Structure 1
Amino acid sequence: MITKHNWTKEEILDIYNKPFLDLVYEAASVHRENKDYSEVQISSLISIKTGGCPEDCSYCPQAARYHTDVEVQSMMKVDEVVDLAQKAKDGGASRLCMGAAWREVRDNRDFDKVIDMVKAVNSMDMEVCCTLGMLNAHQAQRLSDAGLYAYNHNLDTSEEDYSRIISTRTFDDRLKTIENVRKANLTVCSGGIIGLGETVNDRVAMLQVLANMPQHPESVPVNALVPVKGTPLANQPRVAIWDMVRMIATARITMPKTAVRLSAGRNEMSVLEQAFCFMAGANSIFAGDKLLTTPNPDFKDDMAMFELLGLSTRKAFKNGRPQNTEAEIV
């Protein structure tokens, strides 16, 4: 399939609204053009600094202004991260993503510690991803030089809907960080959340921004909102599985070579529902008992599902390592 970067909203909306079985068939056909369609990349996500975030993301229990059960925790130590990385690798993960509840990266000792974490996990032959909030070009380059493989910075929703969900930063702030990540020769992980109260047009508009980037994100997470008591979106209903499948299928068709990650909300899905997502083009998941602060299936359950569905795990660095790394490689 020819990869294009000039999708119109109408084109994407037509895909999204196709009869369900036709949509899944088309997405599965696009996915099977890749000989590795049955491979699934497993990532493990850990919170290296939890809670106390100054942002007001309406869905996030780590925002300091909301009264949730999340307790503020200080920065993890490097050896703690290495221990968790080893457990994740033993469980089948090829990528470790480290998240910090920051609005933006600051040039201080905590960021220096993150650099040490990146170097340590990279030396374990795991892909390293970080999600640390906004960062400038110099900070992105420091992460790249340390051996970072990917940087996650989700768009969350459409530009038009953005201010309803978050007021402490702008949609353009997100795009600027992604631009800085690209300039530092890092791979981009960027997707969004459905179930925020957005419209189908908002979902399509968000996918259009991603699909029309000069280079598609290497990874697009599709998250279903996990409502958390104490946040403004605590009473949102669970996202229908059909909506998740439509988002995954549309992302697969518009970005055929991208890893589409079935992300938050998977703990509420049956194996059959997840199978529909894999059929529609999902080829990446987060595994482990937590996604930052929300529940997630554990490795053993996922491995049993993989065996049942005939899926295999993707090895780290299948597409090669970044070229500008100073970190030790073993």
Structure 2
Amino acid sequence: MATMTEVAEAAGCSTTTVSHVLNGTRTVAAETRRRVERAMAQLGYRRRVTRPGRAPKNLSAVGLTLPGVSNPYFSELVQGVERELARAGRVLVQAETHDDPETERRAVASLLTHRVDALIMAPSIGWAERTWPLLVDRRVSFVLVDRLVQGEVDQIAVENEPGAKVLVEHLLALGHRRVAMITGLPGLSTTLERELGYRRAHARRGVRVDPALMECGASGVDGGRRAMLRLLDRTEPPTAVFTSNNAMTVGAMTALAERRVQVPQDVALVGFDDFEWSGLLQPALTTAAQPCHAIGARAVQLLLSRLANPNQPARTLRVPASIEHRDSCGCERATSQDASAPDTASAAAKVVRPRPSAAVRVAGPIAIASVG
């Protein structure tokens, strides 16, 4: 087996630099890091992770990396992870990545240094280039949540495309023909799948998608606000807008308040990620809710199964969103039976009923749909 010294010689750097690349203890220039990783791969270097002391047998730790737990979606997911781990006699160690691949790599390296046995991750866009080699090198079991990737890995997420398709097709069924979309961070599976649902809803209704009505909100509150303002400033503003996460819903709502656009009299508003306070707003928000707690718990179950049987085939699991029909879409509130989660856009008509007095007009005002 190759040594760290041999890796350093092959990469043309010091053993200290190799150590920093492995442990994430200091930022290393991108080109140097690539040389070190390439040398490790060519030499077949595999590091033995030494763990000082003995951890209690019934108190092993699992690491969790997320873009930011202040987001209500991830906050509820954490609760599901933590509760399921407690049932299994394990503890949770958490780190934030801020959707930055280098921060993510360093967070994972730090978690592994602190005796974490396995990981649950919502991966950043650049995870495959930076974090993936580290996981392979350490031979760490992990499960991905929310954001799916190509490849044989354990992962779990909501059914993004059907949920987006239901919401957008509902707006089209109300008569809107200029439905805009505020998209999330480019490259994320959530962004791509929700855009696909948006496009397929248009195709099903025979409505052309106007590329000029697609604005990037970068998955954040400020990005959603700026994207909404750009749409409102167009010569021909959209009559409906579909945003692709809960943060951008908040941003869009902020922009509408700034412009004194009323909901639902001037604007119909729906959202994919449900907020704890969605039903308390005036008007109450119509949303597609993700079962965040259940996703977190199921991710732990996948991980425990992987730890018990490392050679089993990788699994990708999907869970449906549920439609919480309230007032902001400009429709009469559905019955609880009607509001059960559809998994195809064809079921949208069973979920929402147009209000006789047309609160959503087709020409001029805006309707908003939001997916998180």
Same-fold call, TM > 0.5? no
**Highest relative contact order (Cα 8 Å, sep 6+), 1 or 2?**
1
Larger CA Rg, structure 1 vs 2: 2
Higher helix share: 2
TM-score (norm 1): 0.31
User: Given the two structures, how large is their TM-score scaled by the length of structure 2?
Assistant: 0.29
